[in-house]
Amino acid sequence: MSSATPRVETQCSAQSRRRKNSERSRCSSTALASADSVIEPCSRLLADQTLSDARRAEALLIRGRGYHRSKRLEVAARDYAAAVKLAPNDVEIWLSWSNVELRRRDGEGYVQKVERAAKLEPNNPRVIRSVGAMYWNLGNWDGAIKLYAKALEIDPTEAYARYLRSSAYRAQQKYAEALADADALVALPYMVINRDGFLDEHGDVRDFHVVALIHRGKLFEATGQMDRAAQDFDAAVAAGRSAPALIARRRCPSAHP
């Protein structure tokens, strides 16, 4: 009988590890995953008192992003604040928290958190792009475009930098440059462009590839290329029948009914 005890304990330990690994797998930062699909498993994982600080910080970040994507900004901010206490040098936490501050219209908190990320990892393309976006929001358009370019030199697949620079060129009516970036954005593989997901100005989660198609379609419209605009709007609808895609197609006279 005594020889069976270690075996039972080993089996229980193995089951416990598998259960924890399963929770960690579900508590993942899949950009297009629904908020509830990460909030619940992360909450269960965080209930484990034996969780290391690094794992706890990761779970708080991912759950915070779940709250963030479901527009529960106050709760998201609390998770980010708790996470950064455990991992103060994690730029992903600072960048996610900065976006919450921006959406809460806390300009001072927004700038503070972006600057903290920049001090930690000044050569990180995501950080550089975020500083560029901060410059844009503060009215320094030329400085923003230079930083988007710097981020893209380091990582040409940095989708947000590509999108933001294209949008900046469009605002300056530099359509050739805007379209060049839009073409590169649309050409990114699906999983690459959606690596970080996309939150629009309303805080809604959207498919970044569809966003890119609509963005390029509007650039084609602005330059009188209505057939090409219609093609992009049709492609956006086919990729995902989102309201923005349907509206864009309906407004384009060359698009199919």
pLDDT bucket at 37, cuts 50 / 70 / 90: confident
CA 229, 252, 172: angle at the middle one, nearest 5?
Answer: 60
Residue pLDDT, tens place only, 163-209:
999 999 999 999 999 999 999 999 999 999 999 889 999 999 999 99
Tell me what pLDDT residue 252 has.
Answer: 53
pLDDT bucket at 31, cuts 50 / 70 / 90: low
Tell me what pLDDT residue 36 has.
Answer: 78
Q: Is the pLDDT of residue 254 over 60?
A: no
Mean pLDDT estimate for the chain: 86
End-to-end CA distance of the chain: 76
pLDDT bucket at 251, cuts 50 / 70 / 90: low
Range list of β-strands (E), 96-255 = none
Q: Which residue has better confidence, 256 or 201? A: 201
Residue pLDDT, tens place only, 40-73:
999 999 999 999 999 999 999 999 999 999 999 9
Q: Which residue has better confidence, 12 or 51? A: 51
Q: Is the pLDDT of residue 18 over 50?
A: no
Which residues are CB-neighbours of 36 under 8 A, at least 6 positions away?
66, 70
Quickly list DSSP for 129-157: HHHHHHHHHTT-HHHHHHHHHHHHHH-TT
Give domain limits for the chain. 156-257
Mean pLDDT of 70-87: 97
Q: Is 148 exposed, middle or buried (0-12, 13-18, 19+ CB in 10 A)?
A: buried
Torsion sign across C-alpha atoms 62, 148, 193, 106: positive
- Is CATH 3.40.50.150 correct for 156-257? no
96-110, 137-151, 190-204: which has the minimum mean pLDDT? 190-204
Mean pLDDT of 64-87: 97
What's the predicted TM-score (pTM) here?
0.82
Mean pLDDT of 2-19: 36
Tell me what pLDDT residue 32 has.
Answer: 57
Q: Which residue has better confidence, 251 or 60? A: 60
